[in-house]
Chain A
Amino acid sequence: NAGVMQNPRHLVRRRGQEARLRCSPMKGHSHVYWYRQLPEEGLKFMVYLQKENIIDESGMPKERFSAEFPKEGPSILRIQQVVRGDSAAYFCASSPLGQGYGYTFGSGTRLTVV
């Protein structure tokens, strides 16, 4: 029973490039969440998705960031025109139901912008 799979584990991008982070939820899980962990800071909520729907994107920066969870395939977090401040660990989590349940987190993607 594979857990939440994130790839790549490490990603290096130059300023101005695009970063694409992928997340495959656990089998049977239809709810996906993205969190960001900046150096020396706690986990911050970014976006909550179900298949083909964005449910809550209140934590997502208004510009350059977007997320999707298509009917087929993994969830994608896309960061356009990356800047140094985007360097962080990005974690995806999934759950079988929404409210009141603990998530299962992936191992994260560590993005470094040079």
Chain B
Amino acid sequence: EDQVTQSPEALRLQEGESSSLNCSYTVSGLRGLFWYRQDPGKGPEFLFTLYSAGEEKEKERLKATLTKKESFLHITAPKPEDSATYLCAVQAQETSGSRLTFGEGTQLTVNP
């Protein structure tokens, strides 16, 4: 069974204080690893897809990296507007469709 574990559950940062969120996964053949951002009362917003170990993607202050067992979401010099829950999900090669298995998320709070 595919599993995704995110850590920490919650993270408080001061504005400008860089940090990383972790996503550990177990999957029977990875098709893709996805990062989403979710604001309270809203649906998840797509950030990145990573397909193979060693791949990196960047968007503004966010950078996602992938190894064979985990992914990191690096946040450089965060701002209060980066406060949200960050979700990691995997898609296995063996699934009949496009089912994603999500972790429970990391709730990030950035204080001004």
Contact = CB atoms under 8 A, between A and B. Distances in A.
Interface string A14-55: 000000000000000001010100000111110010000001
A23 B63 CA distance: 32
A16 to B, nearest CB: 28
Interface in B72-112: 87, 89, 91, 95-105
Contacts of B41: 107
Contacts of B49: 100-102
B34 A102 contact: yes
Interface residues of B, number: 26
Contacts of A103: 46, 98, 100
Interface string A68-92: 0000000000000000000000010
A39 to B, nearest CB: 12
B102 A33 contact: no
Nearest to B105: A42
Contacts of B91: 99-100
A105 B46 CA distance: 8
Given A105-B45, A108-B43, A56 B95 contact: yes
Interface residues of A, number: 29
Interface string B23-42: 00000000110101000011
Contacts of A102: 34, 36, 46, 49
A56 B102 contact: no
A91 B97 contact: no
Contacts of A101: 49, 98
Nearest to A104: B46
B107 to A, nearest CB: 11
26 contacts: A31-B98, A33-B99, A42-B87, A42-B103, A42-B105, A43-B89, A44-B102, A45-B100, A45-B101, A48-B98, A58-B96, A91-B43, A91-B44, A93-B43, A98-B97, A99-B95, A100-B51, A101-B98, A102-B36, A102-B46, A105-B43, A105-B44, A105-B46, A107-B43, A108-B42, A108-B43
Interface of A: 4, 6, 31, 33, 35, 41-45, 48, 55-56, 58-59, 91, 93, 95, 98-108
